[in-house]
Every structure is written in structure tokens, then in C-alpha cells.
Amino acid sequence: MTDSIINLLTTALAEDLGEDGDITTSAIFDADDVGEALIRCKQKGVLSGITLAAPLFGLVDKYLASHISSAEADAPVTTVETYCCDGDPVEPGKAVCRIKGSVRSILAGERTILNLIQRLSGIATLTSAMVKELSDSGAKTRLLDTRKTTPGMRALEKAAVRHGGGVNHRAGLYDMMLIKDTHVRRAGGVTAALEKALAWRGGNAVPHIEVEVQSIEEFVQALRLKPDRIMLDNMSPKEIEICVDERDTSGLNIELEASGNITLGILSAIAATNVDYISCGAVTHSAPALDFHLAMLS
């Protein structure tokens, strides 16, 4: 588990526990009260985020240990036994993990772990549905995510996309050049912006350059300069097909990516153009949560 994920979990717990912790549970249960709980899925979908359960409850134990009074017994260690892996299909009633240990720990961490698993599994589930739509169409087109992620949760949300069968676009502004319409307008056009980016790469280690175009005319300009990938933004399936044919006729090994207002209903029509990728921000910014709940067993 990376330091950034541990920091995220720590911040999420601090948001819920504050300085005084779970005052309701502390009032009702002693520090040495032990119990078990199951986390079960309530909907059909694809699981993501289950690997966060063990480190999160480890952090809860540390938090409670630091707040325990000298008059109380040491709390037991909380353990997590997982029954499923990230990327596994789940059905209503399916238990994904069993948590054993301090009742205080289990209940203090309950909402945080459920929030994370529900959010990430929702992303994996929507991604899986879109990937299946592409697969059923028989197209070679692959589904990409975007940078439209929850601040601080990008690594987890992009992992959820992979769990759903999707492919990650760039991780951030640092690992790939993507010349957007904002760059194009300010630079004076596709040609001017792309020429500057290609010249800059000549002296720097940039593995990939992509440029966004919004018309067939802009596409032709970009194709002449041979970037690694061209994004076809908000184009109709017919316009995308024309661009794909133009690329194929040129013999150039340039990837093409369709983007803009992508929904499940139009995936097949876009994939029929034989475009290489379809990028969709909705898989992260608009995925509905997949419902889970925690039930105490004893």
C-alpha cells in the first residue's frame, strides 16, 4: 500500500472520528469487547476497493490505541478476511469480507470502508458495462478513463476502471502531453500548438503526445505533423469514420481516440468506426455507487 493511499485513509478516518472518536460506540462497548462483522453486497456489479479494508482497520486500531485510557484493557487487533478480489463479479447477498476484533474498531471504521468500496465498485461496475457493450459489438475499440476523478482519489478510481476492464489514460499532467482545445486557441491553431510541442519533445523525455481536434479540417492538420495520438472531440460517428479512413489511407501508425459526451447508448455506433479508443469521463465522475452494508454477527 503506497504512502499516498495510507494518507488518504488516514484523512478519511480523521474526517469521521475527529478528536473524540466514535462517542456512541465508546459509550456502549468496552475497549476489550470483541465481535465479528460481514460486509455484503446489495447489488449486482463488479467489486473494487476490497484491498483497502485491512489497512484501514489497522489504522482504526492505531487511532483507538492512542486514545485508550490507562484504566481500560488493551483492545484486540482487528483482522480482515477477504472472500473476493478486486475485479470479481458480485451479487446481492454476497459476502466480500469478514472483520474480527474490537467492536469499537469495527464500528468506527464501518462507514469509511463502505464509502470507499461503494464508490470504487460503482466505477468498476459502470466501466464493466461499457466494456461489455464494446465487446458485444465485435469492435477492437478500447475504453479509456480521463482525469475527471475525485481529488486525492485518482489512483484508486483509475484502479477501479482497470478492475472493470477499462484502460487508463494519462495519470496526470506530468506523464503525457495532451494538447487540448484551450491550448490550441491560445497558441493560434492546431498546427502552431503541435509544432511547439513536438519541438519541445526534441530535448525532453516525453513518451507520448496527443492533440485534440474538433473538426475534420483540424484532424488533417494534425495528421500531417504525425503526433502519437489524435483525439476526435465531439465528432459524429460519420466524421469519426472519415478520420479513421484518412488515417488508414495515410499508412501512419497514429492512434485515434473518440471523446465527448460518451454514453452507453452510443458506444456501439462509435466503435463501428474502428476508432482505437473511446474516452469517457462519466465512468469516474458520474458512476452510481454500488450498495454494500456491514452487519455485526456477534
Kindly list the catalytic residues: 111, 148, 180, 212, 233
Q: Residue type at 134?
A: L
First to last CA, the chain: 30
Q: What is the DSSP string of the chain?
A: --HHHHHHHHHHHHHHHTTT--HHHHHHS-TT-EEEEEEEE-SSEE---GGGHHHHHHHHHHHHHHH--TTSPPPPPPEEEESS-TT-EE-TT-EEEEEEEEHHHHHHHHHHHHHHHHHHHHHHHHHHHHHHHHHHHT---EEE--S---TT-HHHHHHHHHHTT-B---SSTTSSEEE-HHHHHHHTSHHHHHHHHHHHHTTS----EEEEESSHHHHHHHHHH--SEEEEET--HHHHHHHHHHHHHHT---EEEEESS--GGGHHHHHTTT-SEEE-THHHHSPPPPPEEEEE--
